[in-house]
């Protein structure tokens, strides 16, 4: 027996045992292996489909998010414009109210100044009239100290009144 050349009996039994092993594997092992390989293949395909679907949904969500963000920015710009417009309106209204109030105050002050001026003029006129009468009285007393001078003055005044009526 040589190490490199097998004997025919050994070769025969090796072929029989190899055939039985192949038969058992073909009958029971390969179908189970093929079945698990098929399951694995289906699982991988389903996972790929789910990944594609998730990727598409993510892209859709991203587009939706961008659209919502754009809408929010637009609404923010609109709100800011409206707020600026309202601010300008309120400022203009406040200015108008302040102008009207200042005009009222100025008119009231002018009216009060006019009334005080009239009162002062009246007071001055009354004082002037009182002083004039007092002065005239003193002058007339000095000039008309006698009864004869008083009668002359009365006659002259009556004559002036008759002339002015005619």
Digit-coded pLDDT (tens) for 89-130: 999 999 999 999 999 999 999 999 999 999 999 999 998 888
The dihedrals phi and psi of 62, each to the nearest 5 degrees, come to -65, -45
Residue with tokens 């029971």: 28
Average pLDDT over residues 1-16: 83
CB 70 within 8 A of CB 78: no
pLDDT tens profile 19-63: 999 999 999 988 999 999 999 999 999 999 999 999 999 999 999
pLDDT at 10: 86
Q: Please tell me the predicted confidence (pLDDT) of residue 137.
A: 78
pLDDT at 105: 94
pLDDT of residue 135: 82
| pLDDT score of 72 more than 60 | yes
Span 59-68, average pLDDT: 93
- DSSP characters over the chain: --SSS--HHHHHHHHHHHHHHHHHIIIIIHHHHHHHHHHHHHHHHHHHHHHHHHHHHHHHHHHHHHHHHHHHHHHHHHHHHHHHHHHHHHHHHHHHHHHHHHHHHHHHHHHHHHHHHHHHHHHHHHHHHHHHHHHHHHHHHHHT-SHHHHHHHHHHHHHHHHHHH-
Position 1 scores a pLDDT of 52
Tokens coding 111: 């009216």
> Do residues 149 and 143 touch, judged by C-beta distance below 8 A?
yes
Q: Is the pLDDT of residue 163 over 80?
A: no
Q: What is the pLDDT of residue 148?
A: 80
Which sequence spans correspond to the domains of the chain?
18-49
Per-residue pLDDT, averaged over 2-7, amounts to: 76
Higher pLDDT, 65 or 7: 65
């Amino acid at each position: 027996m040589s190490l490199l050349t097998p004997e025919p009996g050994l070769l025969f039994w090796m072929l029989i045992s190899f055939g039985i092993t192949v038969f058992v594997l073909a009958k029971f092992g390969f179908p189970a292996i093929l079945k698990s390989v098929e399951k694995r293949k289906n699982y991988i395909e389903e996972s790929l489909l789910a990944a594609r679907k998730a990727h598409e949904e993510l892209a859709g969500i991203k587009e939706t998010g961008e659209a919502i963000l754009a809408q929010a920015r637009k609404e923010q710009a609109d709100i800011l414009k409206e707020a600026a417009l309202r601010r300008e309106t309120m400022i203009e209204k406040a200015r108008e109210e302040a102008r009207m109030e200042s005009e009222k105050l100025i008119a009231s002050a002018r009216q009060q100044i006019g009334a005080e001026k009239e009162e002062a003029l009246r007071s001055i006129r009354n004082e002037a009239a009182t002083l004039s009468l007092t002065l005239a009285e003193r002058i007339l007393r000095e000039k008309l100290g006698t009864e004869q001078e008083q009668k002359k003055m009365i006659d002259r005044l009556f004559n002036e009144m008759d002339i002015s009526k005619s």
